[in-house]
A and B are shown apart, each in its own frame.
Chain A
Amino acid sequence: MRSHLALILTLIGAAAGCSDATPASPAAPPAATAPPVTPPPVVAPPTTTPTTPRDNTTPGSATPVDPGSANGSTPGATPLSDPAMNDGRIGRAARRLNVRQLRASLLNAVGVTWQQPRRILSADYASGFYDDPNADMLSLVALTLGQPDYNAFTSESIEPGAVFSKLVGDAARKACRDGVTLDVARPVGERILLRTVGVADTLATREVAVRDNLAYLVMRFWARDVRPNDPVLDDLIELFRVASTAPATAAPVAAAGTPVDGWRAVCVALTTDPLFLTY
């Protein structure tokens, strides 16, 4: 299990590195060719980088400046160490979201968190319990997912183990089901998941809109900046196609797939992906 974890984390790093070579991230240098001991590239471009007038007038945007000059620190004052002497581990180790981060991320991306009916033990009721129709499941399973209570468990466990995988799957399926249902009920301009598509839009009728929405969701869930025609979306496109056009089945009884089913499946896929679950 540990070796698999190591592989996952290694390639999570690879995800960040390789993605820099995509057209979506033109500012980042091709890392694979960078010599090991070369001082690291400054993340922000130099202050002379031209900015568009649109950038200057957009709330939330800012003119990149040298972090050192802005914050009193000296660029390169904390240089990267030599990868050859440190087993290649000289950067940040990718890690799993902890429970609070997972809950916040789910809420941020899907608009809802994992809620299910549950019986809750409580002294606030004469019976000693109550039935909560919308129990916050991630809070209830927080200890199982590694959150410390500082009594029996004093350090946070962020191992991406089998239990985490199982519970995250449960969380994703329920949250995405609720989230997509809620989203469809919202006015078109206020939707957070079906942002650029209509409820009935399919690949056959509006492929461009579907691709736009997928690119938007990849940004929303994974914070990855990809273009609508980027091959990285191909798997998601295929998933959407299969889920939204699946024929009805008799046993088990299932209705024919719809675009809403497609988006729900995409939502689950995005939520259970390591790019969502790690950072």
Chain B
Amino acid sequence: MIPPNVPMTLEEGDAMTMRRRSNTAARPQGAPHLLAALLALATTACVGAPVEEAARATQADNTAATQCAAADAEPTRLYRQLSLDLRGTAATVDELEAVRRAGAVTPAMVDAMLNSEAFVEESARWHADLLWPNLDGFLIQMGGLRMTRGGVNPEVNLDLLDTRTEEAACPASGNGALTAASCCTASNPTHPACCLTRNTAYNATDPACVAKSRALGAAFTIGQGLGDRALRGGSGATGCDDALEYPPPHVDASDTTWLREADGRPYYLSPRSRTRRYYYDRDDVPLPYDDWAHCPNYCRALVGTGVGGAFVAADYRAKERVEAGRVVVGDHPAAACPAGYTEVVNACDNGLTGNNQDTAFRVRREGFRLLRPYWSEGHWTKVCAYEAQERTNSVYTGAMCTPAARIDASCGCGPNGVYCTPSQGRLSTLATRAERRIRQALNDEPLRIVASVIARDEDYYNAYTTRRSFITGPLSTLFREQSTRMSGLAITPPANPAMLPRVPYEDESWHEYVRGSEHAGVLTTAAFLGRFPTWRARIDRFRTALLCRPFEPPATGLPAPDDACNREPNLAQRCGCQHCHSSIEPLSAYWGRWAERSSVFLDPTNFPSFDPNCAQCANTGQNCTARCRSFYVTSVADADGSRYAGTLFSALYRSRDEMSRMEQGPGALVSQAVSTGEIQACTTNTLWRRLVGRPMNDEESRRVLPELVRTFEASQHNYRALVRAIVTAPAYRRID
């Protein structure tokens, strides 16, 4: 009881303090904070026991404590425990009342929990502890390129062009100044807000809509390393002109917005040359806009300062002019080059310069186009004209447009913009919606597989062998249209892309489908292969999580570094290393057809275990292809190495048995583990540890484990049955 003279406040934060204070009368002075909570608990829990008794209990020996603890949880507490374990939520008062009335937790109640959707979700979540699904360690660029709006995520304010708002007064600034219908007055009919006042949707022919679009930024790709410098010149984050709209490559005769040739090719009259210039070349590749601002002439020193008089970057500078007593840098009819420099005429085309030393000044900028890329939720958004190109291959080389080809002016973001991912910028650390959707879906995929197996009461190990998987709209877009151009984590589509479900990008629900025959449950999902990026990491996780046999170093330690035995290149035979690697290497062969640091399947047709072409380039010193360098032994520094030239990395040092395992895939490893019973025992142990909160003791391992495994086997590896067997075991119901 609280002594009446104890001062108290009514701060909520003191509620616990007051309780504790009420219990401290009998506890020793200076006892730690947690002890106070302990005593509070003891007082509350051991009903009727005086505080002094509870305090004495803390000093009692283990036996005494055990005697107090040695009991089943009371039914309502047991029900709460079951609910938290099996459903991840606390029991409701109504449920607890039902338990009170029944006087016990009935089997029907347990079954109701086990049969609930919440249990399926919760048990699938348990598998995150085994599979560690997190691909944050990987850069994942769907389509290969990232697209920004000058350091801002292009998804921001995506709906502004299509938005009308109803503020009473026209706001002076902010988004409301573009959308408030009250801004559109008879005296200002081209105000941006008039766009959606006069039209039901964005109308490119309405001057108000044009004005509105000009108020927003245009998205452009970040490029590789130097930003978009190679393409547009300048500082590297130039982008196009947000206020200059480009027409489509071909303009209909009915469209009077643009000047056009008879064949529909749009043109304009250059402000600089007064001649007819085109927005696109004959291949429909955008051209920079020919005027002083978009294609400025610049200056070059009369004599190069580089080796042999070569011109280097320092030899170039911008034109200047004096305006109102101040020097203004940049091209202009009144600008000129300073003494010692000569003017360089900017060709204003897509050609590359000779030495590329002048890229900082040889700026070439185009305008924007209004598009609705796949990530825009159906909204119109501004995309720079180079990026707006939809072709799949370069018109100059015929090669596939990839991130590496970004210097190619004819390569843009592809059909529907799928080669470009919205991003904050090159150094962004915050994920955009499109990036989050993909990461989340890839991380969740293995848990969806597990959930489906448990929900359908299938053999639990189907989760590790099934070809069935699930796909969302973002994943469908990724596999079908973006995976051939991935940057960062490379991903092979799980089946022929044409056979994959076509799920609308905005649809984030899961749709079931069947993957290729090479797939094996969660073990070949991108999340597993990426999270455990090497063959050794994959078998290590498998052995640790599913067989409960982690690799451990030898108790005797490793041999000295200068021991000659360390020269053995095969880790499965090298002294010390062989302790683990004699198991790791043979078992890792099951993932040999899945490339390391990626989720790429190396199909035997395209990736034979030995490639004579790769061997030839390796042994003759020719340049090997990227494919050879990435997947085959091409480094032949010594005679031993040359013996293996042209061998698929995963086939290196493999025995015939191991080669067979490579072709069988990880599903065969699971089948083997099931046949020996090892995996069932581990599953049971893992589940026991989760639910009972401790590992089995020796006695339980001898007496309880076999019985639980038998129950599991008898149910055809039904996960619910195993969970039921554990939560109905006496050990689960007794709280120590």
Tell me the A residues contacting B by CB distance below 8 Å: 1, 4-5, 7-8, 10-22, 24-32, 34, 36, 39-41, 43-45, 49, 51-52, 54-55, 58-68, 70-73, 76-83, 85-95, 97, 100-101, 104-105, 108-109, 121-126, 128, 148-151, 154-156, 160, 162, 165, 169, 172-173, 176-177, 216, 219-220, 222-226, 230-232, 234-236, 238-239, 242-243, 246, 249, 252, 254-255, 257, 261, 264-269, 272-275, 279
B189 within 8 A of A: no
Tell me, rounded to whole Å, the shortest Cβ–Cβ distance linking B683 to chain A: 16
Q: Which chain B positions have C-beta within 8 A of A21?
A: 47
Distance of A173 Cα from B725 Cα, bound (Å): 39
| Cβ contacts B511-544/A at 8 Å (1 or 0 each) | 0000000000000000000010000000000000
Contact of A123 with B731 in the complex, beta carbons under 8 Å: no
Instruction: Return the 3 tightest CB-CB contacts between A and B, nearest first.
Output: A31-B71, A15-B45, A91-B734
Contact of A257 with B71 in the complex, beta carbons under 8 Å: no
Choose one: A34, A87, A267; the contact of B62 (CB below 8 Å): A87
B105 within 8 A of A: yes
Of B310-318, B398-406, B427-435, B488-496, the segment with at least 4 beta carbons within 8 Å of chain A is: B427-435
Distance of A85 Cα from B97 Cα, bound (Å): 38
Within 79-131 of B, Cβ neighbours of A (below 8 Å) are at 79-81, 84, 88-98, 100-111, 128-129
| Dominant secondary structure of chain A at its interface with chain B | loop
Q: Which chain B positions have C-beta within 8 A of A88?
A: 62-63, 65-66, 69-70, 736
Distance of A265 Cα from B128 Cα, bound (Å): 38
Q: Which chain B positions have C-beta within 8 A of A275?
A: 41, 44-45
Within 626-655 of B, Cβ neighbours of A (below 8 Å) are at none
Interface residue range, chain B: 35 or more
CB within 8 Å for A16 and B41 given contacts A21-B47, A150-B133: no
Contact of B63 with A60 in the complex, beta carbons under 8 Å: no
Contact of A176 with B12 in the complex, beta carbons under 8 Å: yes
Contact of B70 with A225 in the complex, beta carbons under 8 Å: no
B1 within 8 A of A: yes
Distance of A268 Cα from B461 Cα, bound (Å): 45
Q: Which chain B positions have C-beta within 8 A of A239?
A: 2, 15, 18-19, 22
Contact of B88 with A104 in the complex, beta carbons under 8 Å: yes
Contact of A125 with B731 in the complex, beta carbons under 8 Å: no
Excluding A62-B108, A123-B432, 16 further A-B contacts by CB distance (< 8 Å) are A10-B69, A18-B49, A19-B46, A21-B47, A28-B71, A62-B98, A67-B110, A72-B715, A88-B62, A90-B731, A92-B694, A122-B430, A124-B153, A151-B132, A223-B79, A279-B80
Contact of A40 with B72 in the complex, beta carbons under 8 Å: yes
Q: Which chain B positions have C-beta within 8 A of A173?
A: 12-13, 15
Q: Which chain A positions have C-beta within 8 A of B107?
A: 44, 64-67, 70-71
Contact of B733 with A92 in the complex, beta carbons under 8 Å: yes
Contact of A274 with B37 in the complex, beta carbons under 8 Å: yes
Q: Which chain B positions have C-beta within 8 A of A85?
A: 697, 699
B662 within 8 A of A: no
| CB-nearest residue of chain B to A162 | B33
Distance of A265 Cα from B18 Cα, bound (Å): 9
Tell me, rounded to whole Å, the shortest Cβ–Cβ distance linking B183 to chain A: 21
Q: Which chain B positions have C-beta within 8 A of A156?
A: 129
| CB-nearest residue of chain A to B77 | A223
Q: Which chain B positions have C-beta within 8 A of A154?
A: 129, 132
CB within 8 Å for A43 and B736 given contacts A12-B41, A32-B68, A81-B700: no
Within 648-705 of B, Cβ neighbours of A (below 8 Å) are at 691-694, 697, 699-700, 703-704
